Structure 1
Amino acid sequence: MEKFFPGKTYFVEPPLDKDTAQLAKGYDVAVLFVNDRADAPVVEALANAGIKLIALRCAGFDRVDLQACAAHGIRVVRVPTYSPESVAEHAVALIFALNRHLTDAYIRVRMGNYSLSGLVGMEMRHKVVGVVGTGAIGAQAARILKGIGCKVYAYDIKPNPAVEAMGIKYLALDELLAISDIVTLHCPLLPSTRHLINRESIQKMKKGAMLINVSRGGLIESAALFDALESGQIGALGLDVYENEGGLFFVDHTKFDPSVRMQNWDRQFRTLLSYPQVLVTPHSAFLTEEALNNICTTTIQNIADYTLGKPLPNEVKAQPSPAPAPAGKA
């Protein structure tokens, strides 16, 4: 960033919130990452500091209040596609690691335990995998899974012709959940998708199915997972995201004094980690050299386009509020 905007770039390590927003004073652009918070109070603070553009180094914009940005004249740009293959490959890596109990096997061998009990997996070939959300990432996940011999089905409100061209059939969500040995989530977090996987939908899943989420934590109702894991309704759970990850991920909490560390303690998250059939990575699915390069290039281009007064192809805007329903007759 400094290379392209020499002497005009200021790096701040703490995440964005209402307090750190004051540090943006004197700058035109705030560059945010996936867990920076830009709700209405933060947006107002950024506007008061003089910010005119929020440039997101990620695809998701669910933590940005677009209505507040519009009200304050702040435009928002993002990186819609940086490396679908990277995220899709990580989802498949979680599937393989859980299926073949790789973390358990690794820990055992390190400790000198070479027993095989509890390490039985299944062949992926011919297993039914449901891909929920078939945008750029979901399509790549479907391609990889089909390539290793899985029987892949898909769900999306708007079918992707590229996925259909692979011979993959679209099903209703309930039907997909009922037949899938593995369900992998690849949809954005919107009001319509929040808690897409909840107590009710989990009960519609095939008993013992594996659930993977490398998209957004809010797609899953975290509190609904405990009973499902303990009953065996969910046989294995792989997460790269978590519903309340904002104060947890991207930070080394081991460097803090215990009293400070406890301020960000999440009992629900720690409980999830304690289950032997759960594998969590710290929102690192995107973390490849290719993805980082693409994120950097697109972010710089977004800022340059804004600075030069060019169109912003990666801009996101608030959707107009739906008109109120007409009042019924008395």
Structure 2
Amino acid sequence: MRIAFFSTQPYDRVFFERENTAGYFNYQFYETHLGPHIVQAVENVDAVCVFVNDRVNENVIQVLAEKGVKVIALRCAGFNNVDLEAAKRYGMAVCRVPAYSPEAVAEHTMAMLLTLNRKIHKAYNRVREQNFSLNGLLGFNLYGRTVGVIGTGKIGKAFCRIALGFGCRVMAFDLHEDEELKQAGVSYVPLEQVYKVSDILSLHCPLTPENRHLINKESLEMMKEGVTLINTSRGGLVDTWAVVEALKSRRLAGLAIDVYEQEEKLFFKDLSGTIIEDDTIQRLMSFPNVLITAHQAFFTEEALTQIARITLQNLQELGRGERPSISQALLA
């Protein structure tokens, strides 16, 4: 099977080549993201493999179908960047990796919270400059704090367990309540109550048209003053300028994000020698109480191994005319 990879990084090559021991797959790697600007270059492949910032809209899908591409394989869990209805119309299968390593993202979420709260990043830089003062590094105990979790799928569930381990009170909202989490001590409450009671609010839901800008001016006004917001899910869940205003008014005591609504122009690139023209992220980075990582939460040895293994398994099974055995892998 011939596969064209888009948004390819060096580590993608390493892990996918490592899993191709039988030589069943033939790879083409493109560093650029998939979109109208590059789709005409796709030739003689059976499948395309895309990531979170590729844009697989109807126009792209039409061209892929005309070129004989049969499968769109996402090497990630989210699929908001693929027009599934268009894929159905053109008879194209879409598969994803629904659960590569929930713990990877959940652990990064907690790492961001701890770093932001205890100002580890600031302390690290101070000590390297021989500054051993503690002034300005004051944090708070997580023990006894109320953590609100929106979305308790596999990643949200893993984060809930971590927060419970720190002695936090965990309040959650999800359309489908998890009985194991309820038995472990998680309380499911209406979304508005999660907003109102949380000291820390963490987002773990997929991005859909219905919940785009879930965090907006109105929802922020429901939150108590001094809440910490964490987003390691999808950037479109947050209205960034509403968050900027909440930071300025001190309603938000801190913001930690691993995703950003306009990240496709920035993340996974070295822009250290250029001028970034995105005024929104520049404004965010100007706040001392904002921590940003560049879609790093998934980035562990275990997660990348699973992503490569499951993606190739999905493609191999689809190539044999079978429904992928990984639960929920087939989307269209």
Q: TM-score, normalised by structure 2?
A: 0.91
Q: Does 1:316 align with 2:331?
A: yes
Which residue does 1:93 correspond to in 2?
Answer: 111
Which residue does 2:305 correspond to in 1?
Answer: 293
Q: CA deviation at 1:122?
A: 0.6
Contact 2:146 2:200 in 1 (8 A): yes
Contact 1:139 1:162 in 2 (8 A): no
Counterpart pick for 1:266 among 278, 286, 292: 278
Which residue does 2:95 correspond to in 1?
Answer: 77
- Sequence identity (%): 44
Which residue does 2:294 correspond to in 1?
Answer: 282
CA distance in 2, matches of 1:129, 1:282: 24
Contact 1:130 1:152 in 2 (8 A): yes
Q: CA deviation at 1:112?
A: 2.4
CA RMSD of aligned residues (A): 1.4
Contact 1:100 1:120 in 2 (8 A): yes
Counterpart pick for 2:137 among 85, 97, 119: 119
Which residue does 2:29 correspond to in 1?
Answer: 11
- Pick closer, same or farther for the CA change 1:7–1:98 going to 2, 3 Å: closer
Which residue does 1:170 correspond to in 2?
Answer: 188
SS in 2 for 1:99: helix
SS in 2 for 1:165: helix
SS in 2 for 1:9: strand
CA distance in 1, matches of 2:25, 2:190: 53
The residue correspondences of 1:246-265 to structure 2 (distance < 5 A) are: 246-254=264-272, 258=274, 265=277
Number of aligned residue pairs: give it.
311
Contact 2:145 2:169 in 1 (8 A): yes
CA distance in 2, matches of 1:283, 1:8: 28
Q: CA deviation at 1:111?
A: 2.1
Q: CA deviation at 1:5?
A: 4.2
Which residue does 1:57 correspond to in 2?
Answer: 75
Q: CA deviation at 1:146?
A: 0.3
CA distance in 2, matches of 1:106, 1:8: 45
Which residue does 1:322 correspond to in 2?
Answer: none
SS in 1 for 2:29: coil
CA distance in 2, matches of 1:147, 1:7: 43
CA distance in 2, matches of 1:296, 1:227: 40
Q: Read off the aligned partner of 1:299 and give its amino acid letter.
A: T
Counterpart pick for 2:317 among 305, 310, 330: 305
CA distance in 1, matches of 2:90, 2:259: 31
CA distance in 2, matches of 1:201, 1:146: 25
CA distance in 2, matches of 1:79, 1:7: 18
The residue correspondences of 1:73-222 to structure 2 (distance < 5 A) are: 73-222=91-240
CA distance in 2, matches of 1:84, 1:7: 27
Q: Read off the aligned partner of 2:284 and give its amino acid letter.
A: L
CA distance in 1, matches of 2:49, 2:41: 12
